[in-house]
Chains A and B, each alone.
Chain A
Amino acid sequence: MGGSGFPSESIKSEGRFPGLYVHVPFCRRKCAYCSFYSITALHLIPNWLRAVSQEARLYEERFGRFDTLYLGGGTPSILTVKQLAVLLEVLRPLLVEHPQPEITLEANPDDVTPGQLAGWRDLGINRLSLGVQSFADHELSFLGRRHQASGSRRALELSRVAFANLSVDLMYGLPGQSQKAWVEHLKQALEFEPEHLSCYQLSVEKGTPLGHLMSAGRFTPLPTDWEGHFFLLTSRFLEKHGYLHYEVSNFARGNCWYARHNKKYWQQTPYLGLGPGAHSFLGNKRWWNFRSVARYCEALKTGRAPVAGSETLTEGQLRLETLFLGFRTREGVKLEMLGGQPEGEKNLWRLEKAGLVRVEEGWVRPTRQGMLVADSLALLF
């Protein structure tokens, strides 16, 4: 078992089940903004699949059963149904039977066909997260996505029929994008009445093709003040259309459609990440795997855990994480977390006056404005 010294007792945090994540690090081509770990050498998929199965076995007892499974990437939808079937056969025994586990698959619109959709459903996948990003061809090509706007719509139509729990990823804050154009995208997405929407602001990371273009001065990013406008606009628009803004970038048509898996990250519920580059969290430990398919597979071939690094969080670090993750969510942070110092109370009162938080039933909840500055809020306590 690698002897890596992770806590061996299975921990259920306040009766919550842990979550299981599998990183599928393959894409047909790299998007211009992408800083996720993924490669285009698809011939390595069989090796990866074998290794993930081995890795899952290493942790069989450590976490207990999981009630969510998230197949993320990369592009999990480029796996064949057969490959997915192999994977799920290994993972299904790790999941609880009741309540019904949430099983999410991230899909690229190009990979969505009636046949695939049926196959995914047959495997028990019950939530589809579709990487639409935009409904404008020029934006999609700027982002370096492989699909086109027509592909987005077709995929949405098909998925809508096949899945009762559909989530759509969109991206805003692209250079030159107007607020009007963005609202148009939102409207198009709403036509399909998705249960869940993730609206991410484009962030240009160093080392990505977009990052290089930007430092070469080939485009100017959105002014910071505008970022705030887009954020508030999105929040207002979607809430008006019946979506709850429950996390900085996430919206759901009612709380039963919250992304159960992702919530575990924000609530510090234990999670196990399988696959290259995946992170895991248990108790006060976090560890992460090699960001290399080759090294990952090699470690598992010799029965070792493919762990590249780990950290043990101190009380203070855990608290800081609780705060900054909490202030990202509608739920907020428990008042008792902030108590103790008179300085903290003074801050709270000021923040309420400034319209950044509301104190309700023992919780300090960020307002829409407050969510926008969640990091600053966390640092005040």
Chain B
Amino acid sequence: MKESRLMKGNEALAEAVIRSGCDAYFGYPITPQSEILEYLSLEAHKRTGMVVLQAESEVASINMVYGAAGTGKRAMTSSSSPGISLMQEGISYIACAELPCLLVNVVRGGPGLGTIQPSQGDYFQAVKGGGHGDYRMIVLAPSNVQEMVDFVRLGFDLAFKWRNPVMILADGALGQMMEKVELFEQMQRKTNIEPWATVGKPKDRERNIITSLHIKPDKMEEINLHLQAKYKEIEKEETRFATIDCDDAEVILTAYGLVARICQKAAQLARAKGIKVGVFRPKTLFPFPYDAINKLAAKENIKGFLDVEMNAGQMVEDVRLAVNGQKKVEFHGRMGGIVPSPEEILAKIEEKFVGELV
């Protein structure tokens, strides 16, 4: 039976980590996500025996994840924007060595030390690479505390299915707010040994090497082509999104995470005024639902898109690529930890689209 609880986003995520049968968490405190490390430090080891270790830095955390993930165990870390920046080298190594692991970024406002308030300023970093070289993470964007729970299990599943790092891209508000969540039942810790894992070489197999170093260019290109082919497969199979009232809509709000919920409220306000507004919410930011948005843009009743984000306009670039000039794409963004209100989004809809609408 599923268990319901009222929980803070960070703690709900940490609870899901324990229940997912995670083997090891390595992390370093940073607001607004320190509750994850705190909750795990208190609960995890006594319940499942999982390793919880406070590292000396985010740089150490991500490299501990590298080591543990290289043994085929479920390993993870979490942090917030500046800490995730410190991890980028390690993430690039992990992506190239094809190690499955879960990374959580409870995003705060930047650039620099910025603010501890919520932001979506790390979209480019998470979705387009962040570290050096051509690689991708699978990026999941929770919109509520329930998804902070559900995406932990999904994240580990996808990480092992594709041997790829998966990032949950949340924000400070999702981490700090409390909602009712349904928790999945405790899962077993992993017992199977991955064939590629470095667990000690038995006599009857070749040694396993975890590396991202291939000094010969033809080999390195081969690795790159393999990764790109994998990312294409991921695009085909793992694209996830949600549509709300898009069927009869004239204006589509595109938004991810917390902002998508605010957009839902804005759409309701708009409909009360007789403006038909729908919401399109990507749940995976990589892979991005280009095709779904492209098809939506082709529909006659759709006049245009308003992309809303807590940044200066990052996902909107992908929305524009997807719409591909079929309809106009407007943008509304707030930065520095300011969360947009439904009313200001409504005002933007009216400013940009009313008059053009029949």
- Do A and B associate with each other? no
B-binding residues in A (CB < 8 A): none
